[in-house]
Amino acid sequence: MVGVRALCAGLAALLLLVGSPAQATLLDFSPAERQRILQHGPWPPPPALDAGNAVAGRPEAIALGQRLFFDVRLSPDGTLACVSCHVPSLAFADGRPRSTGRETLARNAPSLWNAVHQRWYGWDGATDSLWSQAIGPLTHAQEMAGSGAHLRALVQGDAALACRFRQVFGADALRDDETALVQTAQALGAWVGTLVSGRSAFDRFRDALARGDARAAAAYPQDAQRGLRLFIGRARCATCHTGPMFSNGEFADIGVPFFVRPGVVDPGRHGGITALQASRFNLLGPYSSARGDAATKTRHVELQHRNFGEFKVPSLRNVALTAPYLHDGQLATLADVVRHYDQINLERLHADGERILEPLGLSEGERGDLLAFLQTLTSPNASTRPATPPGPGSRRCPA
Ligand code: HEC
Ligand code: HEC
């Protein structure tokens, strides 16, 4: 009898050990750590509109931009649209190291999720608004190789599209070739500006911490909690990847090679500032609706030698979906990126400012924890926003 009872107790204990799910616990985050974690939210942030874009937020403009995004006729040979390199099922990136238009480009296509919450566009920040960013791919010979003249003729020859342009831009619609280019870009910017991703496992954890709900917070995986502790602490990632976007919106040098091909380098931010200041499509230019403070960042940007070889600090939201990584896709996996920071080569750091980075000496387990954390930033679904009805007096256009 006793023997049987002991056996049963033993079995029960064994079952408990084997069968129970891993104990959900919350790490003992210090008040300072909690505060740093909270800075990465809440999500989504307050709604933002594409800077300097007079039609941003207008339902008719958003609907027009959505059509244009998928329309290959925007390229004169009818083969390329925005969607060729920004694929919805790939988080609006393209999964290639470097994008291919009519030729292979020097850079990797970034995700378009949450782009409206960035300060600068392109890896070098050569543009200061979503709409002006679209002008590059529309016109570059390597990309869609179009022009204002091509776009104007295309829209004028398509009654449904022409009606929609008039709906959005009124009497000014398609006034001349350059206006047609700008208006196409503004409609595209209005739509891309609505792409805000939903909430991730990290966001649920962060909000549970914020309201002091230890039980809900404990549901966040342990390895991700340890990785987050490294991210905001010893690994110093959050020095640059900070705020709700996991980016400080600026540019930095993390010691990666920046050769386009032997003997040719990508000047990064240095080239970006030069191009931004020379562009008539920037926030200070004649097509921008930005007034007052809205163009301050562009007015005050200054070219410095250290900008050479700096690239934008990318947002890490949905980063697990957008391999390969870095401005030219030179690292294939997130594990490769973590290893890069772990074993950083200080001699490669060329800009003078990055005193933040040093080899981290992480254990294999710690590298795994960082990876587990990065994977909790995934949320490929759109953030739900109330749909805006068409504006008053909007005319109906043929389908
Ligand atoms: C041939 C491939 C290709 C096509 C076509 C293309 N893009 Fe891109 N896109 C890229 C690449 C590569 C970058 C990074 C550019 C850089 O760093 O200068 C980029 C960057 C962007 C960005 C900035 C994102 C960020 O985080 O900085 C936006 C916005 C964007 N594209 C929108 C568009 C729109 C709108 C269209 C259609 C007019 C379009 N793209 C067409 C490849 C492409
Ligand atoms: C000094 C600022 C800085 C620090 C610190 C930093 N990063 Fe970055 N991070 C960048 C920049 C800049 C890039 C883009 C570099 C490029 O494309 O050449 C980048 C790229 C990345 C990417 C690739 C994202 C993509 O879409 O291609 C990941 C992932 C990443 N960092 C994670 C981390 C982690 C994890 C840490 C901490 C171990 C960290 N970063 C520390 C500035 C920083």
Quote the domain boundaries for residue 27: 23-44+199-264+316-385
Indicate if the pLDDT at residue 7 is higher than 60. Answer: no
Secondary structure (3-state) at 287: coil
Examine the fold and report which residue of 192, 225, 249 is the final residue of a domain before the chain moves on: 192
- Mean predicted confidence (pLDDT) in 12-26: 57
Instruction: Examine the domain organization and report whether 176 and 320 are in the same domain.
Output: no
* Inside any domain, residue 10: no
Q: What CATH number did the domain enclosing 153 receive?
A: 1.10.760.10
Q: Which residues contact 2 (CB under 8 A, 6 or more apart)?
A: none
- From the CA of 136, give the closest atom in ligand 1: 38
pLDDT reported for residue 9: 52
Mean pLDDT of 49-73: 97
- The string of pLDDT tens digits covering residues 175-193 is 999 999 999 999 999 999 9
| Type and span of the H or E element at 17 | helix 2-19
pLDDT of residue 15: 44
Instruction: Show the tokens assigned to 62.
Output: 């958003």
Which protein residues touch ligand 1 with a CB less than 6 Å away?
A: 80, 82, 84-86, 99, 101, 105, 107, 109-110, 112, 115, 118, 121-124, 126, 130, 133-134, 137-138, 143-144, 188, 192
Question: Is 178 buried (19+), middle (13-18) or exposed (0-12) by CB count in 10 A?
Answer: middle
Q: What is the CA radius of gyration of the chain?
A: 24
Question: 154 and 227, same structural domain?
Answer: no
Pocket test for ligand 2, best of 241, 358, 373, 377 (most atoms within 8 A of CB): 241
What is the tens place of the pLDDT at every residue in 348-362?
777 555 678 889 999
- Going from the Cα of 247 to the center of ligand 2, the distance in angstroms, rounded, reads 9
Would the CB of 67 count as within 6 Å of ligand 2?
A: no
Do both 229 and 103 map to the same domain?
no
Assigned domain for 301 exists: no
The number of domains in the chain is 2
Q: Write down which residue in 192, 227, 243 finishes a domain.
A: 192
The whole-number pLDDT of residue 390 equals: 56
pLDDT at 163 over 80: yes
**Pair 73, 143 in one domain:** yes
Residue 30 lies in a domain: yes
Question: CA 103, 108, 111: angle at the middle one, nearest 5?
Answer: 125
Same domain, 34 and 126: no
Token pair, residue 72, equals 């290959």
pTM: 0.93
What is the distance in A from the centroid of ligand 1 to the CA of 141? 14
